[in-house]
Structure 1
Amino acid sequence: MIDPDDRAFLTSLFDAAVRAADPLEALRANLPAKPAGKTVVVGAGKGAAQMAAAFEQLWGEPIEGVVVTRYGYACETRHVRVLEASHPIPDTAGLDATQALFDAVSGLGEDDLVVALVCGGGSALLPAPPKGLTLEDEQALNKALLASGAPISVMNAIRKQVSRIKGGRLAAAAYPARVLSFVVSDVPGDDPAQVASGPTVPDRVTREQAMALVSAYGIALPVRIKDWLAGSADEAPQPEDPAFARNEVRVIASASLSLEAAAKVAETAGVPAVILSDAIEGEARDVGLVHAAIAREVALRNRPFSKPVVILSGGETTVTIRHEGGKGGRNTEFLLSLAGGTEGLEVSALAADTDGIDGSEDNAGAFADGSSWRRMRGRGIDPAAILSGHDAWSAFKAVDDLFVPGPTGTNVNDFRAILLK
């Protein structure tokens, strides 16, 4: 286990990042005027239930609607119904939830307001295979995309072309009601059309461009999906569609704001902080090695930053699955790679997903230091082999360095902090 003081310090930075994305405060500053007609809430994502509860508290009555979140992520609400479904692979509960969202926005008029609460995770939670495809086809597509190592923007561009709800289609279904989308961004660059594949935010990417991305990234699409894309004329709507003319989109929380909040907490504790970027993408193990190289330069030569310092970054890395069967996620894979690149140095680090879950297990990420690989070897683990097998969870579990804060109720992507004292 890493030094308890370092663990507490790094945890305080993570907590600050999560607080900065708190839905209650983020929504409080963005409330619109009340409509002449009804207020209907819809939403999807790992923090959608918490966003709905916060909106209810701020808005008052009357209000109705439905949101969908991941199993185990629900919270109590008074008027907005909360449904749960599977993530990251969609299931039949997600199908039912998708239909419930469409039902909630059907038959509305010009005086009605639809408030869409959108955050990360919504892509899997809202399966809606178009005519000619099935849930099994959408599940196969998700598995292929998750294993491809493609950036989230590429995955979502493809998902939008194979859906009845993504790419602005839910907002189009609500027409002529006005749709106000509150978005908690978990994507590099904070493009709201990419969060949850934009159920209420149209995108300019066409089907032809999405297919070009499939080729460019060498994505092995399931045959039925590939054939459907080649033969269908059902294009996602474009932003110029009149159905979106009165709609509005507001990004109310993001990785940038959360990293700035963490930096302030570090500086208050007497540790200077630098933010590399809030939009770092790439293969997790490669990004880990780049961060390790920077940390090594600081540790050994006091450049480009002087010790003490905490190096912060965000974004969303990817993991190209080459070997099935390993446990873990992109943050633990990043961290195991970083630990190998900083072995023997006085470095402590935390990498975690701000929604509280990294990969398929119950941890948000893990802690590491310059002794992590040595301690893993002492438990009979070969960390290099574990890294190659995408099983970083097992390695950090063995040395008691998993980070398990539980669901946070928000999601602004990955959080990484590297401390050099």
Structure 2
Amino acid sequence: MSTLAPRQFLRDLYSSAVNAVSAEKCLPAFLPEPSPNGRTLVIGAGKGAAAMAKAVEDRWQGDISGLVVTRYGHGADCKRIEVVEAAHPVPDEAGRAAAGRMMEMVQGLTENDLVLCLISGGGSALLALPAEGITLAQKQAINKALLKSGAAISEMNCVRKHLSAIKGGRLALACAPARVVTLLISDVPGDDPGIIASGPTLPDATTCAEALAILRKYDIEVPANIQQHLESGAGETPKPSDPRFARNTHHVIATAQEALEAAAATARAAGITPYILSDGIEGEARDVGIVHAAIAKQVEQRGQPFSKPCVLISGGETTVTVRGKGRGGRNAEFLLSLAVALDGHPNIHAIACDTDGIDGSEDNAGALYHPDSVTRAAALGLRARTMLENNDGYGFFSALEDLEVSGPTRTNVNDFRAILIL
């Protein structure tokens, strides 16, 4: 342990976490048996959808075809399942067109057919098919407003479901009477399958009234047609009691907890005791950073509640209320807040990354923090607190050459954080 290199150690933890929830590792055990008297159709959406489709193709015995939509740059070399790339986190025409084609593709199926649906985080934006009377531009505007508001993922997806022609179980109903088996990589705290990618094949217990309440909560103004769509109940989703879901099944095949446990195993192998704080931390990224910093200092100074050396590991999905004009996703924001709160406190190092390899809409997965980060930044004329106020975590860590750039990982179980205390 005396020769431990903090930077490489933290990067190894992140790599272990991502590898543990790859489609290649997690999906094969959940593949259903082919339908003996019907066809098999593969559909899906999300940042991991193409990698999931490739894992299916590599192992499927018999005929198979279909369509999945993933984020630009997250594709895979599939031969029988078409892969379409579209925009995330704000939907675009490519995603709308792919969703429309998918709905057409599942028409006319029989009870002997099998639909294998591959869902991962990001599917809400990628599978964008507005409800009748709502335009793509209107959905884009509401999506942007929700992303800036600080709304939790469950709240955002509640709104999205009630403005959609495909989410909130509607895709499964379009497949009926075929049997639908849904495999999900979870990017939501609590791993509720109905929230992941806004649950296109899962029944939905939320209501139009709840969607309206969320829009009011965050002071998001909506056009009159959308207000009417929600107030009239026209946007209501199919509920769990609907008999058309009776033959369908779903399996959550990869979760944040599994990623954290893999990172913990890597830490133990390196002689560092890991402590998993939670796999479902939510809230403002900068507030979460302050709390993590306080815990880390208590460990370093007083040996409470854990003895050092150790590493504190956590996951979940924080949010950012955008106030400034800087660059950076929620992981860079968390880490810059941590840096400000620690203010050079010795013997504490950290990493914060998104497991999909993309922090928000930037080109980095996240960043690394070291005890000298704030001092090095000051030498460059950068004030950490000012940059945090401007939501400029990307700019801060880029100047220090401490961005973590992994490229798309083609999976997604959301945030990964590790704080090493020596």
Q: TM-score, normalised by structure 2?
A: 0.96
Q: CA RMSD in A?
A: 1.3
Q: Tell me the amino acid that sits aligned with residue 376 of structure 1.
A: A
Cα deviation, residue 234, structure 1? 3.2
- Counterpart of 1:370? 371
Distance in 2 (CA, whole Å) between partners of 1:8 and 1:191 is 34
Distance in 2 (CA, whole Å) between partners of 1:135 and 1:227 is 17
- Counterpart of 1:353? 354
CA-to-partner distance for each residue in 1:245-301, whole Å, 9 max, x for gaps?
A: 100010000000110111011001100000000000000000000000000101111
Residue correspondence of structure 1 range 214-229 to structure 2 within 5 A: 214-215=215-216, 217-224=217-224, 225-229=226-230
Do structure 1's residue 174 and structure 2's residue 175 form an aligned pair?
yes
Deviates more, 1:4-13 or 1:372-381: 4-13
- Counterpart of 1:212? 213
Q: Tell me the amino acid that sits aligned with residue 112 of structure 1.
A: D
- Counterpart of 1:147? 148
Distance in 1 (CA, whole Å) between partners of 2:227 and 2:399 is 42
Q: Tell me the amino acid that sits aligned with residue 203 of structure 1.
A: D
CA-to-partner distance for each residue in 1:345-369, whole Å, 9 max, x for gaps?
A: 2111000000000022110000002
Question: Is the 8 Å Cα contact of residues 316 and 414 (structure 2) preserved in structure 1?
Answer: yes
Distance in 1 (CA, whole Å) between partners of 2:62 and 2:326 is 48
- Counterpart of 1:340? 340
Distance in 2 (CA, whole Å) between partners of 1:344 and 1:331 is 19
Deviates more, 1:19-28 or 1:262-271: 19-28
Cα deviation, residue 232, structure 1? 4.7
Do structure 1's residue 190 and structure 2's residue 174 form an aligned pair?
no
- Counterpart of 1:78? 79
Cα deviation, residue 391, structure 1? 1.1
Q: Give the match's secondary structure for 1:94.
A: helix
Question: Is the 8 Å Cα contact of residues 327 and 360 (structure 1) preserved in structure 2?
Answer: no
Deviates more, 1:337-346 or 1:221-230: 221-230
CA-to-partner distance for each residue in 1:300-322, whole Å, 9 max, x for gaps?
A: 11111110000000000000112
Distance in 2 (CA, whole Å) between partners of 1:150 and 1:48 is 25
Give unpaired runs (5+ residues) of structure 2: none
Cα deviation, residue 380, structure 1? 1.2
- Counterpart of 2:329? 329
Q: Give the match's secondary structure for 2:315.
A: strand
Question: Is the 8 Å Cα contact of residues 35 and 111 (structure 1) preserved in structure 2?
Answer: yes
Cα deviation, residue 4, structure 1? 9.3
Residue correspondence of structure 1 range 288-299 to structure 2 within 5 A: 288-299=289-300
Distance in 2 (CA, whole Å) between partners of 1:60 and 1:366 is 42
Distance in 2 (CA, whole Å) between partners of 1:83 and 1:221 is 32
Q: Tell me the amino acid that sits aligned with residue 9 of structure 2.
A: F
Distance in 2 (CA, whole Å) between partners of 1:403 and 1:207 is 40
Question: Is the 8 Å Cα contact of residues 144 and 219 (structure 1) preserved in structure 2?
Answer: no
Deviates more, 1:127-136 or 1:280-289: 127-136
Residue correspondence of structure 1 range 250-261 to structure 2 within 5 A: 250-261=251-262
Q: Tell me the amino acid that sits aligned with residue 83 of structure 1.
A: V
Do structure 1's residue 156 and structure 2's residue 157 form an aligned pair?
yes
- Counterpart of 2:34? 34
Distance in 2 (CA, whole Å) between partners of 1:122 and 1:218 is 23
- Counterpart of 1:282? 283
Over 4 Å off, 4+ runs: none
Question: Is the 8 Å Cα contact of residues 282 and 316 (structure 2) preserved in structure 1?
Answer: yes
Question: Is the 8 Å Cα contact of residues 209 and 230 (structure 2) preserved in structure 1?
Answer: no
Q: TM-score, normalised by structure 1?
A: 0.97
CA-to-partner distance for each residue in 1:132-184, whole Å, 9 max, x for gaps?
A: 11010000110111011011001101110000011011011000000000000
Aligned length in residues: 417
Do structure 1's residue 8 and structure 2's residue 8 form an aligned pair?
yes
Question: Is the 8 Å Cα contact of residues 69 and 83 (structure 1) preserved in structure 2?
Answer: yes
Distance in 2 (CA, whole Å) between partners of 1:74 and 1:209 is 35
Residue correspondence of structure 1 range 17-166 to structure 2 within 5 A: 17-36=17-36, 37-166=38-167
Cα deviation, residue 328, structure 1? 0.5
Give unpaired runs (5+ residues) of structure 1: none
CA-to-partner distance for each residue in 1:73-106, whole Å, 9 max, x for gaps?
A: 1110010000010111111101111012112211
CA-to-partner distance for each residue in 1:13-63, whole Å, 9 max, x for gaps?
A: 111111110212211211222212111000100110000000111213310
Q: Give the match's secondary structure for 2:85.
A: strand
